[in-house]
Structure 1
Amino acid sequence: MRADTPGQARVFWVGVVLVAWLLATSGARSLMAPDEGRYVGVALAMLHSGDWLVPRLDGLPFFHKPPLFYWIGAAAMGVAGPVEWAARLPSVLGASAAGIALFAFLRRWTDDRLALWSTVVLATMPYFFLGAQFANLDMLVAGCISATVLLAAWAVLAHDEAQPWRGALAGAHACAAAGLLAKGLIGLLLPFLVLLAWCAWTRRLGTLWRLCRWLPGWVLLLALAAPWFVAMQRAYPDFFDYFVITQHFRRFASSGFNNEQPFWFYLPVLAALTLPWSIGLLLPRHRNAAPDIGTTTRDIDRLMGVWLVVIVVFFSLPRSKLVGYVLPVLAPLAFLVARRILASGPMREGRGLKVAAAAAMALCLAGVGTLVAMPPPGARLHLPAGQRIGPGDQVLMLDSYVYEIPFYWQLRAPVMVLGDWKQQPERDDWRKELADAARFDKARASRLLVDASQLPAILCAPRTTWLVGPNNSQLAHPWLAGTKLVAVNDRLAVWRHDGATRRGPHCAGIPDAAPNADAQP
């Protein structure tokens, strides 16, 4: 195994450049609704509450996903404050892990030039770059999966060559544990499926079986990942059914959770979002290209091909598909692109590669620039000068939960949300997320998830209430005419009601039961 100091320094500096490249624009734009606001809000609530075990959405246990993203985001915001780049740091680190693992693996098992250009291709793919600029769980788990596959493959190759393999295998188990804590079972299942298919193709199933029986690796994985899952099951008896059965198996089989798309959905997505590099796959191999030497190079080609196919097929099977699901295939795709380009005639020389890399970087920055230039989300609604939410004030959201408000208004306490909570929501939206969370803390949910009959008691209390809702909320709630409109934009509006100055059973003209309709932003 290559353990020279210059080689280790090269890996280190590649990592530094990669992190700097991804981090440079990560704070350039506002959080996007709903995903970024949701996950960043949970991380910020973890920081403010001091409870680093239970993820909470508006103060209620939120078990859609495990806590690794929230841990990293909360720690970053604890140091830097609630700023966008700190909120997106988990995604930046996930992308960096994929790039560093790819470079280190290819440098060990191929050559420096292929390792470097594969990493350059990966880092400048718009799909990869923009994924690292988005504060959700997809890039973090993609980085964990990529590092797990590469380290486990390293261990397989090293074992067959009678070289040290335990360090790489221990690293694979640690990354698999991180994957479990990032997004659940796919952090372990997908690397195993990739390795199983690859080892079957290269006749290494015996090696894989021997490595799977290495007990210290499983002890490490369980020591890192199991405590959180055990703690949640002990505290919440319904945790296993909700987190494992509903959020894994039912989500995979159902079309009602996310966007329903055809089986071939990811093929055009990958081709378009990896431009201009995806064109490189069409280049013909040059007749004077150096032939591949040895079985290891061919086996790495097979690893990358199997990796790409297994994950694309896996996420193509369910009807519900999201663009971020296939981010784990970008590392092998970058390798295959770099291999094809380096073996082609017009592009294999350094100048052609540099021009392509410059064009790819320009596309990445243009993508960020486009997002920055878009109209800011309604959640960036600022309160007028002199208006601020005091420590004793309460916030009530009307017929919608605006995920980004706690982040941008720096709210330290949960807000109340007005809605029809007697009916179980069917759509996978903010209602269902809050209703699902309510089952794990019914007492707190009864105070936070309110209906129209509770409005008089809420608004007529001797404290200021800030009301946030769609800017057409007065159509559904005529009583808002008796409150003060303090801010409005094309999506949201904010009203202020000083309850202490209007005591009585019909505060602000609210009848015994105010009407309630679903006005949407």
Structure 2
Amino acid sequence: MPTRPHHTRDLVWLLLAAFVVIAAGLGLRDPWPADEPRFALVTRYFLDGGDWLFPRRGDELYSDKSPVFMWVQAAAISFAGGSLRLGFLLPSLLASLGTLWLVYDLGRRLWTHRVGLAAAWLLLFALQFTFQAKRAQIDPLLLFFVTLANYGVLRQLLLGPDPRAWGLGGFAAGLGTITKAVGALSLLMALPAAWAAWRGWPRVAMPRARTWGLGAVMFALATLAWFGPLFWTVARNGEAWQQDYLHTLLFHQTVNRYTASWDHHEPFWYQFGVVATLWLPAALALPWAVPAWWRRLRRRDARYLLPLGWMGLVLLFFSVPEGKRDVYIMPALPMFCLALAPLLPGLLRKAGPRRLLLAFALGLGGVLLVAGLAMLLGDPGFEHRLLGRRGYAPGDIQWLAGLLVVIGAWMLGCAAVLRARPAAAVAWALGGLWVIYSFGAFPVLDRYLSARGVMAEVASHVGPGAELGGVAWREQHLLVADRPVATFGFGPSGAEPGASWPEQWRRATAWQAEKPGVRWIFTLEEAMPACVDRDAAHFAGATSRRRWWLLPAAALPPGCAAGAAATPSG
């Protein structure tokens, strides 16, 4: 299929806009809680010469997630010259740009160039996609692998026979599987295809036996990139801690998390609420898209059946377990945008969708503008309730309030100027929101969400020759510390698996007693025993609504700490 010059120009503009929106603020912040510092700390462990198969946070194995994302992040940080601030977000940026291209190219091949562009634009400004693309989480990389798998599978099933594309799909599904377990869900696309082939739908090219085998081999090869060395090492050494790591990762954190979820309990319909809210503004089209999809399905158009059928399977799969998070269904978002894109020209000629789009821009802009003005001009108690409890300085609160006013005014201005082109109005409004937020808010928020300020105070107070140990620490503290930090187990909330606070205190006080003149304990306030002499301790600062203290040996009376009750929180 030849590419015309203006097609290339349109794609360049799309990717350039996506780069500006997603990369805005790059280098202006550290990793933020909850997950970003954890992944970055494991990544730094790898870069500092750690075991690349068995990641660690502090002195404990990290078996919650596979290390694949951290491997990619390590490569990105190395590419950025070792700069954590520049490199830790690069995997999400590149994966998101790749996902947009895949959706465009798939839409172009299945329909037209304009449909491909529409699908990619819908995805770029879906709230969930943009928000996750600007964070250093595993999910944008998983999204790329799953979309790449869908890309290869759909090229075989709808544009085939194409064994190479099917093999690519299998390989990408394998990479997705070792990245975050659920990557194999992309292969479920074959179920609606098999049903359509059984019912005699046109355009469905089911793989031959040899092609099925190729996909299986490519899937296995991709998974062996991690499983191979891991299983070999565990089988060869047979050490108990390695076997425990493997069992925890494969069974407790994967199978048990799905079948017997211990957190994030939500009702069955929760994921449908995610579609209706976080998939905005594309989800605004659902009242008109659903009947249109039904008409096309009745005409036996498999280009709609396969993406929509797969999306329904993903929604069902993640609605069954009690534990649910909004990011679980994000892999289905590109297929949603792909199925919606061919309908977009017709929908935008209707008065209802046009008015709803403008109402979205006006409503969101109006809410942000009113909130900003209320913080600037209204009841001071409002801003205290909104931000003051987090320890924000009055000047920073005023700055953030001003940003809300600017963003709100920008969105309302876009809706007014481009009211005859509501889709363009929403795109410009959301693009401005993300760019202004990134450049304007990142430097301010970073002072409260990063531990850099607290750890700078720690370094200044204890001096260059002191040694530091952490009790109830968070990953962000180790990440930005100016020296090695001794750790005594990981159990930051007192309820998570790992060493309990009393156990950490027992180890920490024994460690400090070996060199009482130079060793300090850095600890969370609510984990401190009630017997601590606060007059001898030093308050180091607050991050993310948590207060942190430095304790010299003199702050711990004889017999204090081990087994003692912690200070009541609050």
1:259 pairs with 255, 260, 264, which one?
264
Alignment partner of 1:171 is 2:219? no
Structure 1 residues 494 and 35: alpha-carbon distance in aligned structure 2, compared to 1, 3 A threshold: same
* Counterpart position of 2:518: 464
Q: What is the percent sequence identity of the aligned residues?
A: 20
Aligned AA (1:70): M
Query: Residues of 1 paired with 2:527 and 2:450: CA distance?
Result: 14
- Ranked by relative contact order (alpha carbons within 8 Å, sequence separation 6 or more), the top structure is 1
Deviation for aligned residue 1:353: 2.8
Aligned AA (2:186): P
Q: 3-state SS of the aligned residue for 2:253?
A: helix
Q: 3-state SS of the aligned residue for 1:238?
A: helix
Query: Residues of 2 paired with 1:458 and 1:200: CA distance?
Result: 65
With 270-279 and 235-244 compared, the bigger mean Cα shift is at 235-244
Aligned AA (2:428): A
| Contact 1:173–1:220, Cα closer than 8 Å, also in 2 | yes
| 1:360-392 deviations in Å (ceiling 9; x for gaps) | 324545775677765723734242397187887
CA RMSD, 1 decimal: 3.9
Alignment partner of 1:149 is 2:150? yes
Aligned AA (2:25): T
- Could you tell me the TM-score, scaled by structure 2's length? 0.73
| 1:440-483 deviations in Å (ceiling 9; x for gaps) | xxxxxxxx995443344311233733433233555535145444
Structure 1 residues 120 and 486: alpha-carbon distance in aligned structure 2, compared to 1, 3 A threshold: closer
| 1:43-68 deviations in Å (ceiling 9; x for gaps) | 12221234333222224322222222
Structure 1 residues 386 and 35: alpha-carbon distance in aligned structure 2, compared to 1, 3 A threshold: closer
- Could you tell me the TM-score, scaled by structure 1's length? 0.79
| 1:186-237 deviations in Å (ceiling 9; x for gaps) | 111x112233233323448995452674444443333332142232233323
| Contact 2:31–2:450, Cα closer than 8 Å, also in 1 | no
Aligned AA (1:509): P
| 1:108-133 deviations in Å (ceiling 9; x for gaps) | 12100010011011011111000111
Deviation for aligned residue 1:431: 5.7
Query: Residues of 1 paired with 2:459 and 2:247: CA distance?
Result: 48
* Counterpart position of 1:315: 318
* Counterpart position of 2:308: 305
| Contact 1:31–1:37, Cα closer than 8 Å, also in 2 | yes
Aligned AA (1:248): T
Query: Residues of 2 paired with 1:429 and 1:496: CA distance?
Result: 20
* Counterpart position of 1:444: none
| Contact 1:476–1:517, Cα closer than 8 Å, also in 2 | yes
Deviation for aligned residue 1:511: 2.0
| 1:455-514 deviations in Å (ceiling 9; x for gaps) | 4431123373343323355553514544444545652223153x6xx8xxxx85332763
| Contact 1:418–1:449, Cα closer than 8 Å, also in 2 | no
Structure 1 residues 218 and 283: alpha-carbon distance in aligned structure 2, compared to 1, 3 A threshold: closer
* Counterpart position of 1:41: 41
Structure 1 residues 121 and 379: alpha-carbon distance in aligned structure 2, compared to 1, 3 A threshold: same
* Counterpart position of 1:68: 68
Q: 3-state SS of the aligned residue for 1:318?
A: coil
2:548 pairs with 487, 490, 493, which one?
493
Structure 1 residues 243 and 303: alpha-carbon distance in aligned structure 2, compared to 1, 3 A threshold: same
Query: Residues of 1 paired with 2:268 and 2:526: CA distance?
Result: 39
Structure 1 residues 8 and 365: alpha-carbon distance in aligned structure 2, compared to 1, 3 A threshold: closer
1:193 pairs with 185, 188, 192, which one?
188
Aligned AA (1:397): G
Gap regions ≥5 residues in structure 2? 235-241, 355-418
Question: Which one has the bigger helix percentage?
Answer: 2
Query: Residues of 1 paired with 2:257 and 2:163: CA distance?
Result: 36
* Counterpart position of 2:470: 397
Structure 1 residues 159 and 284: alpha-carbon distance in aligned structure 2, compared to 1, 3 A threshold: closer
Alignment partner of 1:416 is 2:413? no
Query: Residues of 1 paired with 2:536 and 2:510: CA distance?
Result: 16
Structure 1 residues 46 and 390: alpha-carbon distance in aligned structure 2, compared to 1, 3 A threshold: farther
Q: How does 1:84-483 map to 2 (within 5 A)?
A: 84-160=85-161, 165-184=162-181, 186-188=182-184, 190-203=185-198, 207-210=205-208, 213-233=211-231, 234-235=233-234, 236-256=242-262, 258-283=263-288, 298-344=301-347, 345-346=349-350, 351-365=421-435, 376-377=448-449, 379-380=451-452, 381-384=454-457, 387=460, 393-398=466-471, 400-409=472-481, 415-417=487-489, 432-434=496-498, 450-462=503-515, 464-472=518-526, 474=528, 476-479=530-533, 481-483=535-537
| 1:368-422 deviations in Å (ceiling 9; x for gaps) | 5677765723734242397187887543233x23121122225556633487xxx
Structure 1 residues 169 and 470: alpha-carbon distance in aligned structure 2, compared to 1, 3 A threshold: same
Deviation for aligned residue 1:336: 3.4
| 1:113-155 deviations in Å (ceiling 9; x for gaps) | 0100110110111110001112222222122112111211112
Aligned AA (1:166): P
| Contact 1:283–1:340, Cα closer than 8 Å, also in 2 | no
With 37-46 and 228-237 compared, the bigger mean Cα shift is at 228-237
| Contact 1:55–1:70, Cα closer than 8 Å, also in 2 | no
